[in-house]
Amino acid sequence: MSKHWKERADTDKHVDYMSTSHVGGISINFEGNKTGEWVYFVRVGSFTFQCVNLEQLDDMIEYVSHKVNPSTKAMNNGLEHYWQSWQERLPKGLLKGPRRNKILIALLKAKADFTSV
């Protein structure tokens, strides 16, 4: 069973992990956030996806919808342990087998609920 919710963005509590390749994330930037000052969460099983705008949720849906994704290898100045895209930081095996379908369904349902309000 999945669960999704949104919270008012709090710079002390929330971090934007998807806009940067830095493992620790960056502070939330409200200027580029077209959907307001919200942080969106989707919890499936024991993992919670977090995004600071609906465009990031669309990126998650796009990534999860493909069974095989292209390489994410990019130039990183030799700091490969500290500069990884959000897809590379997902737990190993998270998108394997039937879990991928459950996650995709949960993300699509969350997107529908978040946009209908």
How do residues 22-73 score in pLDDT, each as one tens digit? Answer: 777 888 866 654 445 899 999 999 999 999 999 999 999 999 998 876 666 6
How do residues 83-103 score in pLDDT, each as one tens digit? Answer: 677 887 889 889 998 999 999
Task: State whether residue 37 is helix, strand or coil.
Answer: coil
The Cα–Cα gap between 109 and 9 comes to 21
Residue 12 sits in which domain range? 2-116
Residue type, 116: S
Residue type, 90: L
- Count structural domains, the chain: 1
Residue type, 94: L
pTM of the model: 0.82
The Cα–Cα gap between 61 and 103 comes to 9
The Cα–Cα gap between 113 and 111 comes to 5
